[in-house]
Each structure stands twice: as structure tokens, then as C-alpha cells.
Homo-oligomer: A and B are copies of this chain.
Amino acid sequence: MGEYLHDHPVTPRTDAEKQSVVNRLKRIEGQVRGIQKMVEDDRYCVDILVQISAINAALKKVGFSVAERHTKHCVSDAVKSGEGNEAIEELMEVMKQFSK
């Protein structure tokens, strides 16, 4: 991970925070498996595309909640200790990739 500022969040995630993100990812995992079944059942392409769009939207939602948590903790801590710019540039860089 050497290329990023940290290996872990500055404020560790609570168990409840972890559980909430993991639950959303488990639902997404189930949706991906659902599409595999749709392909195996030779379901209509447009139905499959609608499902893929739904997963993308769900993943973006998880991503934004991770980014918000990151900004409220890691980036804010960096700002308070006078080292905000590097953290903000890192955040913007990853948001650019994410918004593609």
C-alpha cells in the first residue's frame, strides 16, 4: 500500500460500522451471483443490463459512504494537524477514478 498515505484509517472503524458496510457488500455479492444465474438461464440481455446498472449504483452508494467516513475522519484529522492538502489531493484522485 506504500503508495497511499496510510494502511489503516486514523480512527478505526467500529464493529457496527464494519458490519453495516459488510452487509451491503454481501447483498451486492448476492446480486452478482444473481446475474450469473440469469446468464446461465439465458435471460434477456436488457434484463441483465438493468441488473448490472443496479449493482453499479449500489457499489457507488457504498463507495460514497466510505468516502464520507474517510473525509470526516482521516482527511479532517490531517486538516487539523496542518497536513490537509496531501490528504485532500489523495481524496480527489480516488474520486476521479470512482466517478468514471
Contacts and interface: CB of A to CB of B under 8 A. Distances in A.
Interface of A: 1, 4-9, 12-13, 18, 21-22, 25-26, 28-29, 32-33, 35-36, 39-40, 42-50, 52-53, 55-57, 59-60, 62-64, 66-72, 74-76, 79-80, 84-85, 88-92, 94-100
Contacts of A69: 45
B46 A70 contact: yes
Contacts of A26: 36
Contacts of A96: 60, 64
A68 B88 contact: yes
Contacts of A91: 46, 71
Q: Counting chain B CB atoms within 10 Å of each CB, which of A9, A25, A100 scores highest?
A: A25
A7 B53 CA distance: 18
